Structure 1
Amino acid sequence: MNRGQKGFTLIELMIVVAIIGILAAIAIPQYQDYIAKSQVSRVMGEVGSLRTATEMCMMNGTSEADCDFGWSGSDLLGRELNNINGNTSGLDITFNGTEAIFTATFGNNASAAISGNQLSWSRNSSGSWACGTDFEQDKYKPSGCENALAEVPEDPQDP
């Protein structure tokens, strides 16, 4: 009686494990980049949604401190910035007259690839909004946010 093979040889199993290892080595970094890009796009949308409230406050003459932005916070932003009605949020909002700047600093649950970087929305005196980031790698910059990070102008009243 001739019996057929009833399993895999060791070399066949080693080849399968090697193929899985190679695929994982390629897929995991790509997935991490995908997560980082999606987090940047999410913060861009979350912070960008505050533009409407800011426009309303500017039209009504409400000061930055008294403006109700409706911000509920984001778990992707750091905790070091503090400028939304006294709440620690990882988002700094500055507006004066017809100009405004929102600066979001990534931290907390953000991907390690983007942690510590910033994204900003800025409004100029003519009412145009622009998005910018300080990412060194273009792969993390979302579409429509290719500008440089907006800077808060120095107060001419300061000595």
Structure 2
Amino acid sequence: MKNKGNKGFTLIELLIVVAIIGILAGIAIPSYQDYTQQAKASQGIVGLSSYKTAIAVCYQKNGSFIDCDAGKYGIPNDILNEGQINGIKNTTILDGGIAAELEAIIPNTGDNITIKFLPIINKNAAALNWQLICWSGSSDIDEIKTIIDSCESATN
């Protein structure tokens, strides 16, 4: 009789492969969650660019940010419902400031990220810059900066 060679993998080999896949999944899944939230936050921030442009035009025409509100001087209306602009749940535009609740969340807490763009006039350079302030429920700045690293400050 001929001795047939075993074909296939041993139990130990299969267990090692399963363990390696489990370790890789444990590393990849949290990173993937962060990347998807970064994409949502980026969409929201880019979606606010039309507001920033209209507010800059309002300032040029009026010489101040007073009454540069949503629905006035060509500034788009507030977003009241999620889904009107990708990445944004709602906005409030008042005197040139833009407050927006983003669809992006902090993965550890599930809190939505809220941002505020504040216009800053540099009189010497005749330029309009925007300060980005972020906060999110009980999350601290380090958790928020994993999603939006350009936040200059954050408070609860």
TM-score by length of 2: 0.68
**Structure 1 residue 28, shift from structure 2 partner:** 0.2
| % identical aligned pairs | 28
Aligned residues: 131
Q: Residue deviations 1:109-157, cap 9 Å, x none?
A: x345364321121113543322221252232223xx331259xxxxxxx
Q: Quick check: 1:140 aligned with 2:136?
A: no
Q: How many Å separate the matches in 1 of 2:91 and 2:5?
A: 68
Between 129-138 and 2-11, report the one with greater CA deviation.
129-138
Q: What is the alpha-carbon root mean square deviation over aligned residues?
A: 2.7
Give the 3 Å change call, closer, same or farther, for CA 8–21 of structure 1 in structure 2: same
1:83 corresponding residue in structure 2: none
Give the 3 Å change call, closer, same or farther, for CA 46–130 of structure 1 in structure 2: same
Q: Which has the higher strand share?
A: 2
Q: Quick check: 1:103 aligned with 2:86?
A: no
2:87 corresponding residue in structure 1: 76
Q: Residue deviations 1:73-107, cap 9 Å, x none?
A: 324333xxxxxxxxxxx011111xxxx21011124
The one-letter code sitting in structure 2 at the alignment partner of 1:57 is: C
2:58 corresponding residue in structure 1: 57
2:23 corresponding residue in structure 1: 22
**Structure 1 residue 4, shift from structure 2 partner:** 1.4
**Structure 1 residue 66, shift from structure 2 partner:** 2.2
**Structure 1 residue 16, shift from structure 2 partner:** 1.0
Q: Please list every run of 5 or more consecutive structure 2 residues that lacks an aligned counterpart in the other structure.
A: 123-127
2:116 corresponding residue in structure 1: 120
Spell out the pairing of 1:34-53 with structure 2 (5 A cutoff). 34-53=35-54
Q: How many Å separate the matches in 1 of 2:51 and 2:11?
A: 60
